[in-house]
Amino acid sequence: MPYTTGQATPRSDIAALVMQANSDLDTLLIAEKVAPPIGEDVKRGIYMKANLANAELLNADAQPRESGDDYARVNRAYNTDFFDCQEYGLESPIDDSFAEEVDRFMNLEATEAAILDRSLRLSYEKRVATLIQNATTFTATAASAAYTQANIATMDPANDVDQAKSRLLLNGVIANCVIMSYNVFQRARRSTLLQNQIYGVVPRTANQKLLPGTEDVAHAFGVDQLLVGMAPYNSNIKGQAYSGSYIWSDAYFAVANIKAGDYRAGGLARTIYWTKDTTGLFTPETYRDDRIRSNILRVRQHSAEKVIDSTCCQLITTSYA
C-alpha cells in the first residue's frame, strides 16, 4: 500500500481518467518498453548479477579427466548492483472559485492531472533516453555510411544492425530490438538499400514512392520489435517561448536485447519503482490547502532507471545530418 497521511489522498479515479486522456501520448513514448517496470518494496536495495567475465559465463573450460583425477574447477564470482529510487513530482493548486467557474466545461482535476502526468512521463522518457544513448556505458560503432540525405542511396541500416547483432553474439546475446529516434527512422526507411531489401529491386520513377512501416523495418532488421522514440518536449527553460525538440537523440541508435521481469532474466534495463509509496509507476493524489482555498493536485513517481546488463546493447553512431 502507498504511504498516506491525513492530508494526501491517492486518487485512483483520477489515474483512470489520466490514462484515457494520455492515450495519444502513449503511442509516442517508449521508455516503459525499453526499461520495463519492476516493483520493489524497499526504496534502496541490492541485487545479484553475473557479469560476463567474473562469472565466466562463456568460458569453454571443460578438460579431459582420467579415472582417479580431480575435475577441473571454475572460479566463478558474482557481482552485486544497487538501486536507489528517487522521487519526482509536480503539484498544481486548483482554486475553488476557478474550479466552480470551469466546472460546466470540463473536469478540471482530471485535465490538470493529465497535464502533470504528461510532464512526469516526458521527464521519465528523457532519463531513459539518456541512460540508453550513452557511449560511455555501451560500445558505439560508426555506421557504414553517415545517415545523411546525400547518402540515401549508400547508407545501409540493415547491414549496420547485422554487424551490431554479430558483436552482441560475441557476448552470448541475441538482439531482439532496435531503438531509434523518429528522425533516424524516417531517414532509414527512405534509404535505397533498405527499401530494396524489403520490396525487392524494382524500377521506380521519381513519383513512385512506397515507405515501409515499423513492422516492415523490424522484419528487415531481423528483430522482434522496432521502438521509435517520437515524443517531443520543450527544450527551452521555464518561462521562455516553446521550442519543440525530440527527446531521443539522432546521434545513436541501439541494437539490444530487452527483457522484463526478474533481474535474473537479464536484458538491457529496468525501471525500478518503490511499491510502498506508490500506486503504480505514477501516482496522482490530492490534499487541501485552505490558506489559498484550493485543492492541491500532485502527481509523483518514485523510481530508479537502471542498466541491468551493459553487454546487452550496441550503439551505432549515425552521424545524422
Q: Under 8 Å CB-to-CB from 290, ≥6 apart: which residues?
A: none
The DSSP code sequence of 232-274 is: EEE-SPTTSPP-EEESS-SSEEEEE----SSGGG--SEEEEEE
Whole-number average pLDDT of the chain? 88
Cα separation, 295 vs 99, in Å, equals: 10
Do the beta carbons of residue 296 and residue 93 sit within 8 Å?
yes
Do the beta carbons of residue 267 and residue 49 sit within 8 Å?
no
In a domain? residue 1: no
Candidates 161, 179, 156, 147; CA nearest to 221 is 161
Task: Please count the other Cβ atoms lying within 10 Å of the Cβ belonging to residue 128.
Answer: 23
In a domain? residue 252: yes
Supply the CATH number for residue 20's domain: 3.90.1690.10
Do the beta carbons of residue 9 and residue 52 sit within 8 Å?
no
The DSSP code sequence of 170-236 is: TTT----EEEEEHHHHHHHHT-HHHHHHHH-S----TT------HHHHHHHHTSSEEEEE--EEE-S
Range of the domain at 219: 9-54+79-202+209-317
At 107-142, the pLDDT tens digits run: 777 788 888 999 999 999 999 999 999 999 999 999
Q: What percent of the chain is predicted at pLDDT more than 70?
A: 88
In a domain? residue 72: no
308 has a pLDDT exceeding 80: yes
Which cell numbers in the block locate residue 269? Answer: 534495463
Find the mean pLDDT for residues 48-75.
Answer: 79
Do the beta carbons of residue 254 and residue 178 sit within 8 Å?
yes
In a domain? residue 24: yes
Q: What amino acid is encoded at 241 in this protein?
A: A
Cα separation, 63 vs 72, in Å, equals: 6
Number of domains composing the chain? 1
In a domain? residue 234: yes
Q: What amino acid is encoded at 75 in this protein?
A: N
Candidates 265, 283, 267; CA nearest to 275 is 283
Which cell numbers in the block locate residue 90? Answer: 509536480
Find the Cα–Cα–Cα–Cα dihedral 261, 263, 265, 271, rounded to 10°: 50
Pick the range with the lowest mean pLDDT from 29-38, 95-104, 123-132: 95-104
At 142-193, the pLDDT tens digits run: 999 999 999 999 999 999 999 999 999 999 999 999 999 999 999 999 999 9
In a domain? residue 67: no
Cα separation, 125 vs 138, in Å, equals: 19
In a domain? residue 68: no
Confidence of residue 14 (pLDDT cuts 50, 70, 90): low
Between 70 and 24, residue with greater pLDDT: 70
pTM above 0.75, yes or no: yes
Q: Under 8 Å CB-to-CB from 126, ≥6 apart: which residues?
A: 233, 247
* Residue 281 φ/ψ region, left for φ over 0, alpha for ψ in the -120 to 50 degree band, beta for the rest: alpha
Do the beta carbons of residue 97 and residue 297 sit within 8 Å?
no
In a domain? residue 66: no
Cα separation, 180 vs 249, in Å, equals: 8
Residue 307 three-state SS: strand
Do the beta carbons of residue 8 and residue 50 sit within 8 Å?
no
